[in-house]
Chain A
């Protein structure tokens, strides 16, 4: 039995959390993720969800309590945005380093200063390398579906890593969209629990979080990094099973009119919707453009990406985040390192746009495609970032 509801990204995430029989939810309010915790608190108050909601005093404690509850064998969820995610920074590493399958929803938002509550992806990119599996949603449906998939991935014995489900603040967290819901019992079956042998159990005591000296540290960190790399196989399996259950297809990457495209944009999140509109427009004008949504960002699907962009004449990477002083946006650095690693020779350009809630309009995307078209015969790489929609 499926049903269709009108939900915001936040309420869709909360709806999934309820269906997933989550045990412990430590949360702290921050715009624009707050309505997730409000919804969960109401579920608990109404007896619709049997979970311990811990209204902690900070995001640092939210992720700490989440990691600890997970260590005790509980299925654990938290959510945050922006400064809250940054405040969690050190414990994000602890969570992945201890292989704790926490799931966190992040409604992406710009970071201070200047303070700004609107969307970009600077927050998640600041935490890109914390060892978490990082998945991005393009629509409210994606938010729900990725949440349903998340614990299956996180708790798999081959993975045992935390999962971050990202979606653009306000654009997806607050805007309502139609969401096809999976029945409670189907979700329960799909995401059934796997008891971890590595939990705080008085009958089989373990020490978790020991100090590891130079003779073992490298190996322990390598194992976690290896598990993150290899998680793509499990993500594939879970996506396939999910497709079997719902008919909805998810992959590490989301190509759109990419197969024969001369000019490809790579982008993350809700802006893909705008890009598709622009792409259709430009296709009708005869320009062969396409899009690849970078849905699963960690582990970075470099190999799969190279297969998809090999035939393009020029590629543009749209970054909704800065890496000040690095000469590039963050996704650009990952894409270019994949190009070098796999020896793919395609000109690649970097667009930074949509910062701090600045709209990316269809015309902005058309501008990006035109840059690619114009630049295709020139140097392989631009010398500069293209800031689109910036006044200067």
Chain B
């Protein structure tokens, strides 16, 4: 039975309050949802990143389930190791648990430095659910561009200037790369669409093989946004067509959230300081709007409806 309302979600929390994530950070929304659905018999493997440093300042930890961090680029491989360990220990009668292995990595740890180990784990068909929390830059080190930073965005290593309008490359198609591995399940998700995300998490766990969920995560300092607007901005990403919500299952892709009336990308951009410089650069804005139009067409989104004046 798919979830239809937030009150149907399991209530038990496994990420304790009191961690050091920024006020307004959208990542804990994802993690809480993920772990509530995963339940007690879960091991979390975390790549180096914001989430790792902010939830485990020794001797404190926010994790109420077993949690492991080894390094930055090897979270998927570590997930494979944990998964294999529980599999064989159960076979030998040394544990009686079926343990879910959830791997959490940021965009750098997943799509850049961790891409090799991600590819290995997926190609082998290892039983892990990998969740990428994509805040579209290396936020933990102070906002440097990554392979998933969107075109035009300011970061400290793609500063707009006389000769630059910010990031000059288009967001890496991580979902395309993952799907090319013929994983059991892959989906995009957003903290603005909790029920959609909850059902995707549930599905990912049910597959008994490699599953991937790619969350877009507005970041307060990195996106230069008001801490109260993270979820709203995530919603605008979906409504603009820049972050379509879809899933890949049994060889085909299905759009899970339809958008009848699309908002222009500028509506999404204008709440974010990282795109401020684009506001007087119509050429770049047109390029990005065309890019969003292409994504929207692929997912059968409705027409662009300019913001009411």
Chain A residues with a Cβ under 8 A of chain B: 23-24, 26, 50-52, 54-58, 60-62, 64-74, 76, 90-91, 94, 98, 200-202, 205-213, 216, 220
A71, B84: Cβ atoms closer than 8 Å: no
A94, B53: Cβ atoms closer than 8 Å: no
A60, B73: Cβ atoms closer than 8 Å: yes
Cα A210 to Cα B77 with chains together (Å): 18
Residues from chain A with a CB closer than 8 A to the CB of B211 are none
* Interface residues of chain A: helix, strand, loop or mixed (majority): mixed
Judged by a CB distance under 8 angstroms, whether B71 is at the interface is: yes
- In B82-136, the 8 Å CB interface with A consists of 82, 84-89, 91-92, 94-95, 97, 99, 116-117, 119-120, 123-124, 126
Partner of B61, one of A60, A76, A207: A207
Number of residues of chain B lying within 8 A (CB) of chain A = 50
- 15 A-B pairs (CB sep. < 8 Å): A50-B91, A54-B81, A57-B116, A64-B74, A65-B84, A68-B68, A70-B81, A70-B85, A73-B85, A202-B97, A206-B66, A207-B63, A209-B67, A210-B57, A211-B57
Residue of B nearest to A53 (CB): B84
**Top 5 A-B pairs ranked by shortest CB distance?**
A68-B81, A57-B120, A209-B69, A65-B81, A61-B77
Q: Which of A69, A76, A94 has the most CB of B within 10 A?
A: A69
A200, B56: Cβ atoms closer than 8 Å: no
A91, B117: Cβ atoms closer than 8 Å: no
Partner of A50, one of B46, B56, B92: B92
Assuming the contacts A57-B120, A65-B80, asked whether A210 and B61 have C-beta atoms less than 8 A apart, the reply is yes
Assuming the contacts A23-B92, A26-B80, A65-B78, asked whether A74 and B85 have C-beta atoms less than 8 A apart, the reply is yes
Judged by a CB distance under 8 angstroms, whether B32 is at the interface is: no
Assuming the contacts A72-B89, A200-B43, A208-B68, asked whether A54 and B116 have C-beta atoms less than 8 A apart, the reply is no
Residues from chain B with a CB closer than 8 A to the CB of A91 are 70-71, 74
Residues from chain A with a CB closer than 8 A to the CB of B64 are 205
Judged by a CB distance under 8 angstroms, whether B225 is at the interface is: no
Residues from chain A with a CB closer than 8 A to the CB of B95 are 73
Cα A62 to Cα B78 with chains together (Å): 9
Cα A200 to Cα B84 with chains together (Å): 13
Judged by a CB distance under 8 angstroms, whether B247 is at the interface is: no
Residue of B nearest to A204 (CB): B66
B88, A71: Cβ atoms closer than 8 Å: no
Cα A216 to Cα B97 with chains together (Å): 34
B40, A202: Cβ atoms closer than 8 Å: yes
Judged by a CB distance under 8 angstroms, whether B196 is at the interface is: no
Question: Measured between C-beta atoms, what is the minimum distance from B61 to chain A in Å?
Answer: 4
B69, A68: Cβ atoms closer than 8 Å: no
Judged by a CB distance under 8 angstroms, whether B59 is at the interface is: yes
- Known contacts A50-B92, A72-B43, A202-B99; 16 additional CB pairs below 8 A are A26-B84, A52-B87, A56-B80, A61-B77, A61-B116, A61-B120, A64-B70, A65-B77, A65-B84, A67-B78, A68-B80, A202-B66, A205-B64, A209-B69, A209-B70, A211-B57
Assuming the contacts A94-B71, A207-B67, asked whether A64 and B81 have C-beta atoms less than 8 A apart, the reply is yes
Judged by a CB distance under 8 angstroms, whether B79 is at the interface is: yes
Partner of A54, one of B63, B67, B80: B80
Cα A212 to Cα B69 with chains together (Å): 12
B66, A69: Cβ atoms closer than 8 Å: no
Cα A284 to Cα B202 with chains together (Å): 78
A202, B43: Cβ atoms closer than 8 Å: yes
B85, A69: Cβ atoms closer than 8 Å: yes
Assuming the contacts A56-B77, A72-B85, asked whether A201 and B66 have C-beta atoms less than 8 A apart, the reply is yes
Residue of A nearest to B70 (CB): A94
Residues from chain B with a CB closer than 8 A to the CB of A55 are 124
A68, B92: Cβ atoms closer than 8 Å: no
Cα A213 to Cα B69 with chains together (Å): 16
Question: Measured between C-beta atoms, what is the minimum distance from A351 to chain B in Å?
Answer: 38
Residues from chain B with a CB closer than 8 A to the CB of A73 are 85, 89, 94-95
Assuming the contacts A205-B63, A209-B69, asked whether A23 and B85 have C-beta atoms less than 8 A apart, the reply is yes
B82, A69: Cβ atoms closer than 8 Å: yes
B74, A52: Cβ atoms closer than 8 Å: no
Partner of B56, one of A23, A61, A210: A210
Partner of A210, one of B40, B58, B76, B92: B58
Cα A68 to Cα B82 with chains together (Å): 5
Question: Measured between C-beta atoms, what is the minimum distance from B50 to chain A in Å?
Answer: 11
Cα A373 to Cα B219 with chains together (Å): 71
Cα A327 to Cα B79 with chains together (Å): 43
Residues from chain B with a CB closer than 8 A to the CB of A60 are 73-74, 77, 116-117
Question: Measured between C-beta atoms, what is the minimum distance from B72 to chain A in Å?
Answer: 9
Residues from chain A with a CB closer than 8 A to the CB of B120 are 56-58, 61
Residue of A nearest to B84 (CB): A52
Judged by a CB distance under 8 angstroms, whether B271 is at the interface is: no
Judged by a CB distance under 8 angstroms, whether B42 is at the interface is: yes
B117, A61: Cβ atoms closer than 8 Å: yes
Residues from chain B with a CB closer than 8 A to the CB of A208 are 66-69
Assuming the contacts A23-B88, A61-B120, A67-B70, asked whether A72 and B82 have C-beta atoms less than 8 A apart, the reply is yes
Residues from chain B with a CB closer than 8 A to the CB of A206 are 66-67
Cα A282 to Cα B58 with chains together (Å): 59
A68, B77: Cβ atoms closer than 8 Å: yes
